[in-house]
Amino acid sequence: MNETGASDLLTATVILLGAGVTGLVLFRRLGFGSVLGLLVVGMVVGPHGLGLAVAGTELKGVAEIGVVFLLFLIGLEMQPEALWGMRRAVFGLGGLQVLVTGSLLAAVSFAAGQPAAAAFILGFGLALSSTAMCVQMMEERGELYTDWGRRSFAILLFQDLAIIPLLALVPLLAGGGLATDPGAFLLRLVMVSLALLLVFLAGRYVLPWALDLVARQRNMEAFTGLAILAVVMAAWAMHLAGLSMALGAFLMGLLLSRSRYHYQLEAEVAPFKGLLLGLFFIDVGTSIDLAAILEDLPRLVPLLVMLLLLKAGVIFLLARLFRLDRAGALRSALLLSQGGEFGFVLFGAALARGVLDDETYGLAILLISTSMMVSPLLHRLGDRLAARLQPPQPLPTVEQMVAEMDTHAVICGYGRVGGTVGMMLESLEIPFVAIDQDPVRVEAGRRIGKKILYGNATDPKVLKLAGVGRAGLVLVTIDNPAVAERVVAAVRNFFPDIPVVARARDLEMRDRMLAAGVSEAVPEAVELAITLGAVALRHMGVAEADARDIADMLRRRAFAALRSHPSLARPSEAASRAGGEPAGRTAAEGTRRG
């Protein structure tokens, strides 16, 4: 890139980011959500608006990586078992949605005078929805792991798969393809297989090994680089094979979801996702030509209404067929009724092959752009209509119960430690709310009546939803030190007056937690040692009261006695106190002296 190009790109980025922040604040304050705000910002500052920023090819490519990061994070949060449990929704509901919607839209296009090949491409291209837009809107409002949110995501996932055969059919519809060049088809098949194999091997074996290596070296810069490399490599491999980059990132996230570094990977990638996804929606907005839309309004409005009603109607009926309740089916139908970014790709390929003419292509692009622009409004409409259709619930939802709670405990992380603390609170009838990011654990807990919210406890919105501002105590039981520290920082930044008790792995972690502002941090290794010591003393004939007093004394001294004991110091400290002798020898001698 030459100096002028770099300067133009930098100028466009600064303008887009500045305008994007303004749009986010304004539209969220008005209650419309971030997606519509970013689309409007793109329309205003783009080449069809004020012309302050022209999104070039480089910026478009960077912005598309935002969608890749989004799907990678979704894959990280979804265990393979959860995806396998969705197979009926993905291939059944998703497959029927694409087939039925595409066939009906193709029939309408053919009846309107389009040639058969063009009608087919138009019908199935418009049957696809915007994965980036729909997932982002659901994620913003915590709807992705609801029943209807999962069904919607299943449909979007199949649509991402469907673009592969649709693109392969374009040369056939143009009069070339498999019959004239079978070698090209076989080459594509081999490349697809190699890309999938590369992603599988990297996500299953290579990256976990590399992450473990740099984590042991405490090289966080390399860890961040590996996290970004994992996403970009999967997208690159799929792109070379002609597949969806976002699909590759989703598969990589799914493979790494069982890694012990799952949460740290999420923490490293999330900031990039937020920034680049914002640029993606702004870039989509820059491509919307409001003047052209207004000029073609007499033709565009009937087509837009037909598209939205037909897609929404098909999705609603199919969702009901797959036993989704009326309110959820309506939400899903209105959310997925817009056209998507894959339509741009498919129609562009069809234009290049002569399947679509310039006029039809231009009108189809305007139709997708307009449908994406009204999609956030339809999402809100779905909320209001679903509220009227929702049957009366015999029990309030978790969110409703939390809204009525006061001076309760909030447990951040509901694994083995958090669950045990929860049982102790329940035994004394102390109310609590748990926050966890494992959808299977959340769903299992809710089935037995636990008040568990799915969400990231570092997010102020999730903390507010859990009623932290009204809570009597926050307990951080997350075993990942980096994530636990970010949770403490979020609570302290937004709710400085709430007492916080945290779990720590060791004394060093306890000190860091105390420095971060927690009221108390319990080092699990030391606490376990005290408990085992008390049990040992009782078995050695020490009275239970005396053993308990010794344990309490150590706790009251905040483990100062343990910190000064050479045999329990960290290896480096033990060696230095022994005049440079090996840590193992010092510890052994200290044990014999004791």
CATH number of the domain where residue 159 is located: 1.20.1530.20
564 in any annotated domain: no
The CATH number for 527's domain is 3.40.50.720
As a whole number of angstroms, the distance between CA 308 and CA 301 comes to 11
pLDDT tens per residue across span 496-517:
888 999 988 777 788 888 888 8
Of 358, 389, 420, which one is at a domain's C-terminal end? 389
Q: Say how many domains are in the chain.
A: 2
Claim to verify: residue 454 and residue 335 sit in the same structural domain? no
In this model, does residue 590 exceed pLDDT 70? Answer: no
565 in any annotated domain: no
Range of the domain at 414: 398-558
As a whole number of angstroms, the distance between CA 520 and CA 513 comes to 8
121 in any annotated domain: yes
User: Which of 74-83, 246-255, 281-290, 406-415 reaches the highest mean pLDDT?
Assistant: 406-415
Minimum mean pLDDT among 69-73, 86-90, 259-263: which range? 259-263
What's the confidence (pLDDT) of residue 458? Answer: 85
Claim to verify: residue 326 and residue 406 sit in the same structural domain? no
577 in any annotated domain: no
User: Which of 125-129, 228-232, 428-432 reaches the highest mean pLDDT?
Assistant: 125-129
Name the pLDDT band for 13 (thresholds 50, 70, 90): low
What's the confidence (pLDDT) of residue 336? Answer: 92
Name the pLDDT band for 550 (thresholds 50, 70, 90): confident
Name the pLDDT band for 591 (thresholds 50, 70, 90): very low
Minimum mean pLDDT among 83-87, 254-258, 298-302, 564-568: which range? 564-568
Claim to verify: residue 176 and residue 300 sit in the same structural domain? yes
Per the model's pLDDT, the better-predicted residue between 222 and 585 turns out to be: 222
Name the pLDDT band for 537 (thresholds 50, 70, 90): confident
In this model, does residue 435 exceed pLDDT 80? Answer: yes
Claim to verify: residue 221 and residue 136 sit in the same structural domain? yes
Please provide the average confidence, as pLDDT, over all residues in the chain: 76
Over range 176-193, report the average pLDDT. 63
Claim to verify: residue 280 and residue 182 sit in the same structural domain? yes
**Angle at CA of residue 277, ends 274 and 278, nearest 5°:** 85
Is residue 119 within 8 A of residue 110, CB to CB? The reply is: yes
Claim to verify: residue 174 and residue 206 sit in the same structural domain? yes
316 in any annotated domain: yes
Name the pLDDT band for 41 (thresholds 50, 70, 90): confident
335 in any annotated domain: yes
As a whole number of angstroms, the distance between CA 59 and CA 55 comes to 6
Strands (E), 447-562: 452-454, 473-476, 500-504, 520-523
583 in any annotated domain: no
Distance (Å) of CA 168 to CA 109, 110, 114, 227: 21, 21, 21, 32
Over range 563-585, report the average pLDDT. 39
In this model, does residue 394 exceed pLDDT 50? Answer: no
Cα 211–chain centre separation: 20
Name the pLDDT band for 79 (thresholds 50, 70, 90): low
Claim to verify: residue 357 and residue 482 sit in the same structural domain? no
pLDDT tens per residue across span 99-123:
999 999 999 999 988 888 899 999 9
pLDDT tens per residue across span 250-309:
788 888 877 777 667 777 777 776 666 677 777 777 777 777 777 778 888 899 999 999
Name the pLDDT band for 410 (thresholds 50, 70, 90): very high
Of 389, 421, 454, which one is at a domain's C-terminal end? 389
Claim to verify: residue 367 and residue 460 sit in the same structural domain? no
Claim to verify: residue 487 and residue 413 sit in the same structural domain? yes
In this model, does residue 334 exceed pLDDT 90? Answer: yes
Is residue 312 within 8 A of residue 131, CB to CB? The reply is: no
pLDDT tens per residue across span 358-378:
888 888 888 888 888 888 888
In this model, does residue 232 exceed pLDDT 60? Answer: yes
User: Which of 104-113, 221-230, 463-472, 555-564 reaches the highest mean pLDDT?
Assistant: 104-113
Claim to verify: residue 188 and residue 327 sit in the same structural domain? yes
Per the model's pLDDT, the better-predicted residue between 358 and 25 turns out to be: 358
**Angle at CA of residue 366, ends 365 and 370, nearest 5°:** 120
567 in any annotated domain: no
In this model, does residue 559 exceed pLDDT 60? Answer: no
Name the pLDDT band for 124 (thresholds 50, 70, 90): very high
Claim to verify: residue 78 and residue 203 sit in the same structural domain? yes
Count of C-beta atoms within a 10 Å radius of residue 146 = 16
Of 355, 389, 423, which one is at a domain's C-terminal end? 389
What's the confidence (pLDDT) of residue 5? Answer: 53
User: Which of 23-27, 136-140, 331-335, 370-374 reaches the highest mean pLDDT?
Assistant: 331-335
Claim to verify: residue 339 and residue 405 sit in the same structural domain? no
- Alpha carbon dihedral 64, 141, 307, 48, in 10-degree steps, equals -50
